[in-house]
Amino acid sequence: MVDNYIISIPKVSVIVPVYKTEQFLDKCINCLINSTLKEIEIILVDDGSPDNSPKICDYYATKDSRIKVIHQQNGGLSNARNVGINAAQGEYICFIDSDDFVSPDMFDKMYNLSETHNLDIASCGYSKVDLNGNIISLNPHPYSDLILSKPEINKMLESAHKTQVIWYVWRNMYKKRIILENNIFFNEELKFAEDSIFNLYSFAYAKRIGVLEDLLYFYRDAPNSLTSRKGKTYLEENLIRQYCEKKEYYKMFQIENLIKSDLKPYIVEHQLPMLLSNAMFLDDKISKFERIRGILKLEMIRDSLKDYDMANIRKLPRGIQLTIILSKLELLFLLSLLFKKK
């Protein structure tokens, strides 16, 4: 184990929010300690975890001087990441989820790419793994092996939702100056998909972005994670707030045309099915019909369905096609059958 590294200014600050991940935390921390880039600081933000995670964090801090542990009351993922940003001393910032792990040379490769090409953001692909770390799928970055200038970044943002390039902060390395100078922080009111808004602003302010073809991050697909959990009571409210914030983003950068061309198709093809499926698992006094009717009446859903180009439907999976058609026709009974709780 690395011990007593003396680093005046770390090259990279690695921010790891920690909450109820004692099963995977050793692997996560060890992969960071064993990084081939040694000039890093590892910021473990214990977000009031009730399991043994805080003790594990403190143990590793006694073994490696590059590890900084912050204990706090539970404030959520976005808050923990923001706390990490404010504590970071490095030139660059990376975010790692505490149940995931990375390739030993991830930070080395991304830092060298950033320094060589004067990047504001470096990115890579990732592998999805199961609970035992076995690879489920390989996910290359949609812009692999490219250096993007400002005009090319603007072009990339035209299809940010379609390509899903704004998903996940953990596959990126950000120049800290870009984050702090432009006051880019995570919205602490969001409990779901908070990465996308952070990335929209980060990419918009970046002048140069580089992408490695390597799959350097290993994302653990945990069935009980916030992302995978069914019946999320906060989902609708969070997606509405996210929609409003994204409209503000497009207005701020005077690219409101992208609301119709990129954001609204994404809402119809991804978030509408998500909301309908989630509604079937909500145990409350509202009937499923009323729940579906309420979803279809949401401004973000109503307007997106109205503007949706049905010519795009042919390339979609059959279930998504049916969802869109039935939603446009407001056939509540058939929608309830299509999304019947299984």
Q: In degrees rounded to 5, what are phi and psi of residue 57? A: -60, -50
Q: Tokens for 281?
A: 């698992």
Mean pLDDT of all residues belonging to the chain: 93
pLDDT tens column, 304-341: 999 999 999 999 999 999 999 999 999 999 999 998 86
pLDDT of residue 8: 75
Length of the chain: 342
Residue 225 has pLDDT above 80, yes or no: no
**At 144, is the pLDDT very low, low, confident or very high (cuts 50, 70, 90)?**
confident
pLDDT tens column, 291-302: 999 999 999 999
Cα–Cα distance between 202 and 182 in angstroms, integer? 8
**The three-state (H, E, C) secondary structure of 117-165, written as one string:** HCCCEEEEEEEEECCCCCEEEEECCCCCCEEECHHHHHHHHCCCCCCCC
pLDDT tens column, 184-193: 999 999 888 8
Residue 1 has pLDDT above 50, yes or no: no
Give the number of other CB atoms < 10 A from CB of residue 21.
22
Long-range pairs, 187-190, Cβ under 8 A, ≥24 = 187/78, 187/241, 187/245, 188/75, 188/76, 188/78, 188/79, 188/82, 189/241, 190/78, 190/238, 190/241, 190/242
pLDDT tens column, 317-326: 999 999 999 9
Q: In degrees rounded to 5, what are phi and psi of residue 289? A: -60, -45
Inter-axis angle of helices 318-328 and 299-307, nearest 10? 100
Beta bridge partners of 179: none
Cα–Cα distance between 19 and 44 in angstroms, integer? 10
Residue 63 has pLDDT above 90, yes or no: yes
- Mean pLDDT within 233-238: 90
**At 3, is the pLDDT very low, low, confident or very high (cuts 50, 70, 90)?**
low
Q: Is the pTM of this model over 0.85?
A: yes
